[in-house]
Amino acid sequence: MIERNDVLIYLKQVRKLPLQVVSGGLFKNKLEEHLYVNQQHME
């Protein structure tokens, strides 16, 4: 289970990235990585 707060914090961080980086597929990879790390942290 992912804390809603963690996602909101992450999205705020992503907003600082250049738009081309976000739309270039990095966003999806970073989000998956972030969620994976969070999942590991909770176990």
State which residues form the domain around 8. Answer: 4-42
CA angle 5, 8, 12 (to 5 degrees): 140
pLDDT of residue 31: 72
CA angle at residue 22 from 3 to 28, to 5 degrees? 50
In angstroms, how far is the first alpha carbon of the chain from the final one? 10
pLDDT for the residue numbered 42: 64
Tokens (6 digits) for 18: 């250049």
Q: Render pLDDT for 26-43 as a digit per residue (tens, 0 to 9).
A: 556 677 777 777 776 665
Phi, psi of 17 (to 5 degrees): -75, 150
Q: Are 38 and 8 in contact (CB under 8 A)?
A: no
- How many domains does the chain contain in total? 1
